[in-house]
């Protein structure tokens, strides 16, 4: 697939009309005051990964980013995790995302919660980042690598833009011990933009790139439980029981993807890894 076709297919997966309006309407319907929104208020709409806000808070604690440090969120989507990180740690965060509409909507949501001076958005491809060497103290990514075909380029780029002594933290889906996976899943309708690799393959690539592992934790059991609970809420309450982010843009289609992804976890076809690595 050419670079242009790849970007087109990934963007088609994540582009929705009037996303900001739909998010704000959804938050208003939940009883939020749109004139006094906090980063946490946005969480039902902007934490586009399993585990939601709790997963992001776990990364915040683990990454221990200082106020004078600069972080990069690779494939940061609407910037939900970046806003939580910036507001909790006081640091600055750059969000890199392939999707122009996510960057635009993310910047508008960031301005709304008063973090425009600390969280900025840059449209671009994680496999060829538009940043100088050694630009960041911390690199962070959640649930983006499964859409990225060239993992070697991804990890090399993260290594390159981190300063020596920097760290890389991620929370990612990878291939489970049972294959293949069932489609459609929240990140891909079919094989075309699905790029899960096995944890051991990722680990070897990271080592070859030069990273030193500090923590490597298989969180598949927690993710399985999270899907079980989210699906139970969804079945009991319908739309109100699930995060509104992509659901609100996709309706019943999204419910089906959640069910299939839950089944992938139950059958150990997808796994989740939390990792922290040092860049020497
Ligand atoms: C499931 S969303 C996760 C967003 C965010 N990390 C979060 O947890 O809320 C995956 C994101 O990865 C982005 N993405 C996919 N491939 C990318 C690439 N090659 N470079 C940069 N971003 C990419 C998508 O545009 C999308 O915003």
Does residue 77's CB lie within 6 angstroms of at least one atom of ligand 1? Answer: yes
3-state secondary structure of 72: strand
Q: Which of 16, 49, 75 to mutate to test the pocket of ligand 1 (most atoms within 8 A of CB)?
A: 75
DSSP designation for 269: S
Does residue 243's CB lie within 6 angstroms of at least one atom of ligand 1? Answer: no
For 140, phi and psi rounded to 5 degrees? -135, 140
pLDDT at 27: 86
Whole-structure pTM value: 0.94
Domain 3-278 CATH class label: alpha beta
Does residue 80's CB lie within 6 angstroms of at least one atom of ligand 1? Answer: yes
Could you read off the pLDDT of 23-47 as tens digits, one per residue?
888 888 888 999 999 999 999 889 9
Cα 78 to ligand 1 centre (Å): 9
What is the spatial distance between Cα 27 and Cα 13, in angstroms, rounded to a whole number?
Answer: 23
Could you read off the pLDDT of 89-101 as tens digits, one per residue?
999 999 999 999 9
On average, the pLDDT of the chain sits at 92
pLDDT at 273: 98
Could you read off the pLDDT of 112-150 as tens digits, one per residue?
999 999 999 999 999 999 999 999 999 999 999 999 999
- Are 177 and 156 in contact, with CB atoms under 8 Å apart? no
Q: Block means of pLDDT (10 residues each) for the chain, length 280 residues?
A: 74 75 85 94 91 96 98 97 98 96 95 97 98 98 96 98 98 98 90 94 98 98 94 74 59 81 97 98
pLDDT at 254: 80
Cα 141 to ligand 1 centre (Å): 9
Tokens 């489970």 -> residue: 176
- Are 122 and 99 in contact, with CB atoms under 8 Å apart? no
Does residue 143's CB lie within 6 angstroms of at least one atom of ligand 1? Answer: yes
Tokens 């509409």 -> residue: 101
Does residue 51's CB lie within 6 angstroms of at least one atom of ligand 1? Answer: no
Q: Which atom, in ligand 1's list, is nearest to the CA of 11?
A: 25
Task: Tell me the domain boundaries of the chain.
Answer: 3-278
Tokens 């946490």 -> residue: 40
pLDDT at 1: 63
């Amino acid at each position: 697939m050419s670079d242009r076709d790849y970007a087109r297919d990934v963007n088609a997966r994540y582009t929705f009309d009037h996303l900001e309006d739909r998010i704000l309407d959804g938050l208003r319907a939940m009883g939020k005051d749109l004139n006094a929104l906090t980063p946490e208020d946005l969480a039902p709409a902007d934490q586009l990964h399993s585990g939601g806000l709790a997963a992001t808070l776990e990364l915040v604690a683990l990454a221990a980013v200082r106020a004078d440090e600069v972080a990069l969120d690779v494939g940061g989507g609407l910037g939900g995790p970046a806003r939580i990180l910036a507001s909790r740690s006081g640091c600055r965060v750059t969000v890199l995302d392939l999707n122009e509409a996510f960057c635009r909507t993310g910047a508008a949501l960031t301005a709304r919660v008063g973090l425009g001076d600390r969280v900025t958005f840059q449209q671009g491809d994680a496999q060829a980042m538009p940043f100088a060497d050694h630009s960041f103290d911390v690199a962070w990514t959640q649930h983006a690598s499964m859409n990225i075909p060239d993992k070697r380029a991804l990890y090399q780029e993260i290594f390159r833009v981190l300063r020596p002594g920097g760290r890389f933290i991620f929370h990612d889906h990878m291939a489970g011990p049972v294959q293949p996976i069932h489609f459609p899943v929240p990140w891909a309708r079919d094989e075309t933009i699905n790029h899960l690799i096995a944890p051991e393959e990722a680990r070897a690539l990271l080592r070859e790139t030069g990273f030193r592992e500090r923590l490597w934790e298989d969180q598949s059991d927690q993710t399985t439980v999270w899907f079980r609970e989210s699906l139970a809420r969804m079945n009991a309450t319908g739309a109100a029981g699930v995060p509104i982010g992509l659901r609100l843009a996709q309706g019943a289609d999204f419910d089906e993807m959640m069910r299939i992804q839950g089944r992938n976890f139950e059958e150990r076809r997808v796994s989740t890894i939390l990792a922290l690595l040092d860049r020497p």
